[in-house]
Amino acid sequence: MAYKEIANSKPFIINKNLGSAMVLDSQDFTQTNADGLSVVEPTQKQKYDFDRNGWILVPGILPDNEIKQMRDFCYQLRQDPESIPEHERCTIGGPLQKLTDHPVVVGFMNEFLANPAIMSQDCYGFRMETTHLLFRSVEEDIQGKFNPHKENGLFRLPGDSHFYRCTPGKAWSGLTRVVWELNPVEEGQGGTKFITGSHKAAYPAPDTVQDTNCSLWDTYSCPAGSLLIFTESITHSGSPWTNQKVDRVPIFNLYNTVASRWHTWVPHPKLLETMTAKRQTLYREPYAGGNVVNGDFDGRTSPYLGDNLGASVNSCLLYTSPSPRD
C-alpha cells in the first residue's frame, strides 16, 4: 500500500458488536455547543502535536472583555465569595460557565475523549469531572511549589482514568485537563511544567526529574485568555509563581469519558437547573449503556427479557446531585 493511502486511511476501531468497525464520521460528533456556536475541530497539526507531546497550548482565544469579566469573577470568588449566590460560588458559575463547553474545548474532546456511540447533536460524548481555581501569587503561602507526578498512560489497569490509548490515526486521552489562563504567563515564572512525551513512556522517570532545572522539563509563555490542554497521564508539575506584575489566575477544568469517574465532585443542583439541556449532559451519571439524549444506543436497563428493551434514550437521566458541593 502506498504511503498516501496509508496516511489517508481511516483507523479501524472495534465496535461492541461481533468485532465490526466503529463509525468515526466527524459529522456524527456534536457540531454545536450549548450556546449554539459551531464546534472548532483541532487542526491536523494540533492533533499531531497533542498526541506526540501530551500537551498543547492554544494562545489568546478569549476576547479582552470576556477575560476581564472572568478574571474579576475569580477575584470575587477568592476575596468576597459571600457576595455571590451560593449555587454560583464555583468555577463554573457566573461568566465562567461558558468555558465548560467552549467550541475549541468541545472540538478537542470530540477528537480525544468522546465515544461516538454515546453522543448526539443534543448530548456531549464526554463528561466534566471537576473544576477549580488554582490561584497563585508571589506571596509565600500561595506561591505554589514544584511537585512532579503522573506518567505512563499506555500501561494503566482497567478502571484507572489516567490512561492514554492510540492506534494509527486515532488516540484517546482519558482524563484530560483544560486550563484557562486568565492572566499572562511568562516562561519560567510559574506556569505548569511537563515532561513532553512521558504519557507514552515505557520506563520510569529518572531521578533527575526531581530537579526543577532538569532539561527534561518543558513549559510555556502565553497571553491572557489562552487555553492549555494536557492529558493527565503526562508527567507534570506546578512551579512557584515569581511574576511580580500579575497573579496567576487559571481555571483548571477536568474532563473524562462518559462511563468513568475519578473524583466525587458534582455541581450544585440549582446551578444545573440554570443550564441548557445540552450543557447539563456534561454532568450526567457515569455509565455507558443508553446514556445519551436523542441517540440510538441500546437503552436496556434491566437484565430480564422484555423489560426496558428498546427503552427510549430520551429517558436517560441527567445528573442530579445528592448534595451541593463545590
The SS3 assignment for 37 reads coil
Distance CA 255, CA 178 (A): 8
Query: β-strand 176-181 against 226-231: which pairing, if any?
Result: antiparallel
Give 115's pLDDT tier (boundaries 50, 70, 90): confident
What is the pLDDT averaged over residues 277-301? 80
pLDDT at 321 over 50: no
Choose among 156, 186, 35, 176: nearest CA to 114: 176
Distance CA 141, CA 116 (A): 45
Of 2.60.120.620, 3.20.20.70, 1.10.510.10, 3.40.50.300, the CATH number of 3-267 is 2.60.120.620
Supply 87's cell numbers.
449555587
pLDDT recorded at residue 314? 33
Q: What string of DSSP letters covers 242-280? A: --SS--B-EEEEEEE-TT---------HHHHHHS-HHHH
Domain limits, the chain: 3-267
Query: Model confidence over 50-103: pLDDT tens digits?
Result: 999 999 999 999 999 999 999 999 999 999 999 999 999 999 999 999 999 999
Query: Model confidence over 15-45: pLDDT tens digits?
Result: 666 666 666 666 678 999 999 999 999 999 9
